[in-house]
Structure 1
């Protein structure tokens, strides 16, 4: 079967499409749950034209520097090879797999989404503002190429060959699992996110029809059996949103021992069938099909001018930094899709920003107060991102901006939503800070009124 092919054979076939030959292929990481591997590849150009093409890609990655390209026409590349474990759940790209295995569907769809990002979206980013790897070859567009049938047999293997970010971004900021970033790296990450959110904001109106966006896993599986399929990014960026976390949410709602069970899961209004705080927040944050062009609800009209593409899994483990820490490059775009940029910030702040940058003078989670309004440190970081974002001039109904007060409301909603996921799935990072902030947010009558009426 194709999913049993060795990485060096996969790399050799894909390199041959660009007149490159394999020098070496070494596995450096195993994908989550044994779904494949990431390999560092060294390739040599066999023609001058091939060398020029790969040098062009490497220069795009590094803003004019070509350290990834050797003087002997050899090049540093990365192969991401997705091959589900033999005997595991089936999820052929053509039919979406079994309905009941939502986790497996989510993984396989996420790898398709990532290929779309590297093929179609990454080339649109300014590498000096938002550096990402560049795709050289992938199974997404392999049909008709030499020996492509060996890769595509069975439809279970997804392979992407891309440039290596590490020559220009040598610091693996998340080398230690769940590591905190340094202050310069935090600001560099905010620079990258502002540039990505700002640039991708212009892509959203181009989606005249959002039929190509990938739906939540079980819905996408139904579509594929009907002969339809998403082939772009996720309709809802990220992997934590409520529509795909109903089992975890039900468990939280039933957990009488959790402080957050009633607070997040009980109906907000007097009706026993009314939505909960968590459901209201999820509704507010979720992009809607067709809501950008048909008038939509007042909630849609308020949200849509600020929707961009989001990374969907922002954390230290998913970025490399320069030695000076003044620039970063993100990777792992499995959950890229539509959303509000503050959702990326909520995870970054909770999981990878030092507590002392959020709560001035506090470096110990035991010293976080029970309830916490926005501190000067948190505000400073948000203002920094907000200023960078507005500098791109792409937000608002007429591109005029993103009102600070509305931005803060969106931010608060994103914090509530991220806490809902952590409390129902598992906690890590600055959770004490997150809980204290959400206690304050939910006791703010202004926020609750906005949540009900906006």
Structure 2
């Protein structure tokens, strides 16, 4: 059976459970390493819907918005058919877990969001174990382009209006979840990939979102970190050099930003749910650009909202919105443009959450997030507003008071004496 036939079969099955008939299917893109497909499908309401909805699969469904038999509706099908999960393959395992996290987000968390924080609506999903030990997953969600027709596009910058709309969405999303984080069951959070999957390929579908949101955090990027540490010709080798009591500044910052499954964390009172992969490619906007909606929640998990902003500012915000003068100096303090964007986010975050966030603490968190994001880019490959990011981090690392505070927080969080850093 071809992959296209498989997508047709799955789409037809999911639609039938909702009393819908498949009309068309177009493959939009293949997933990473051939792990599946994303398709746009259209469907109409059956004249005589199948009321049984019986299936041998594990499914989850919600009410469809289809109103008349003649109305053609558009949906997005995300079909995942990866090879079996294996121990000690971090990249593969991260992807498998990320698809399960995304399915959990859409089925369980997204319905809790108020209308002013729009996301795609979950229609139906499948999570089906395979005889070879792998798993097949599929998710049917509403088509965002019907309401938000302008795609952010891959590795492109947004215009001023879109940037402001993205900040408003993120501050609302982060603010909504901030006071609700204590209600999450920490034991059900997804740990780093190699901790999560045993030699038998542990199934994490009954868990929720990542303990540490995003995909760049140091606990899962030790190989890249080691490569950077060995590259003495790189300026940013200094991030891996010993700073305080045999720990590098990169390790200290990573520890300070790391949510904990149990015990005290320096960011505990400010932890929220972050998107985890904020970039222009993962959003749509209205024609005016004044409304935005994000998608691709594979790396949603706990963290500081500023960690989402670090990637957004580097990869999708026009440089002229961040700096006052060109060319960018070698060392750069916070410019007025950067401050204005942060203040817009910060004010709305406090309003949405009903919580106080001292501006000084917020800026310290922001600067740590920039250092951590630079560490990933330096070890993986730079893109985006590289000059701005590097200039900001050079300036930040001159602040010995901040570095001492980071070291002190790491010590209090129990970093000292650990052998599995961070």
Q: Same fold (TM over 0.5)?
A: yes
Show the counterpart of 1:266.
Answer: 241
Q: Which residue of 2 is the match for residue 280 of structure 1?
A: 252
Query: Secondary structure, in 3 states, of the residue corresponding to 1:257?
Result: coil
Partner-residue secondary structure (3-state), 1:27:
strand
CA contact (8 A) 2:45 2:69 kept: no
Distance 2:41 2:4 in 1: 19
Alpha-carbon distance in 2 for matches of 1:36, 1:226: 21
Aligned equivalent of 1:415 = 370
Question: Are 2:189 and 1:213 aligned?
Answer: yes
Matched, 1:90 2:65: no
* Corresponding position of 1:126: 114
Residues 1-49 of structure 1: per-residue CA shift (max 9 Å, x gap): 8988621111001111111111111111111222111111111112699
- Work out which of the residue numbers 159, 164, 167 in structure 2 matches 1:182: 159
Q: Return the offset for 1:90.
A: 2.2
1:352 matched to 2:352? The reply is no
The size of the alignment, in residue pairs, is: 398
Unaligned runs of 5+ in 1: 57-68, 92-97, 143-148
In 2 relative to 1, CA 451–223 (structure 1 residues): closer, same or farther, beyond 3 Å? farther
Task: Give 1:450 deviation, angstroms.
Answer: 1.8
Matched with 1:201 is 178
Contact persistence 2:87–2:201 (CA under 8 A): no
How do 1:397-412 and structure 2 match up within 5 A? 399=355, 401-412=356-367
Give the 3 Å change call, closer, same or farther, for CA 71–379 of structure 1 in structure 2: farther
- Tell me the TM-score normalised to structure 2 length: 0.89
**2:148 equivalent among 158, 169, 172:** 169
Between the aligned partners of 1:348 and 1:373, the Cα distance in structure 2 is 19
- Superposed displacement of residue 361, structure 1: 4.5
1:182-220 CA-partner distances (Å, limit 9, x unpaired) = 00000000011011101112331112x411111111100
2:359 is aligned with 1:368: no
- Counterpart of 1:42 in structure 2 is 42
Q: 1:309 aligns with which of 273, 279, 287?
A: 273
- Distance apart, 1:237 and its partner CA: 0.3
CA distance in 2, matches of 1:76, 1:228: 30
> What SS is found at the alignment partner of 1:6?
helix
CA-to-partner distance for each residue in 1:238-285, whole Å, 9 max, x for gaps? 000000000000000010100111x2111112x4xx211000100011
| TM-score, normalising length: structure 1 | 0.83
The equivalent residue for 1:73 is 71
Q: CA deviation at 1:227?
A: 8.1
Alignment CA distance shift 1:440-1:159 (3 Å)? same
Instruction: For residue 127 of structure 1, report the CA deviation from its aligned partner.
Output: 2.6
Question: Which residue in the other structure is 1:337 paired with?
Answer: 301
Q: Which of the numbers 135, 159, 173 marks the counterpart of 2:138?
A: 159
Contact kept in structure 2, 1:307 and 1:339, CA below 8 Å: yes
For the aligned residue pairs, the C-alpha RMSD in angstroms reads 2.4
Runs of 4+ in 1 over 3 A off after TM superposition: 1-5, 47-50, 151-155, 223-230
Report what 1:139 is aligned to: 126
Structure 2 runs not aligned, ≥5 long: 51-61, 410-422
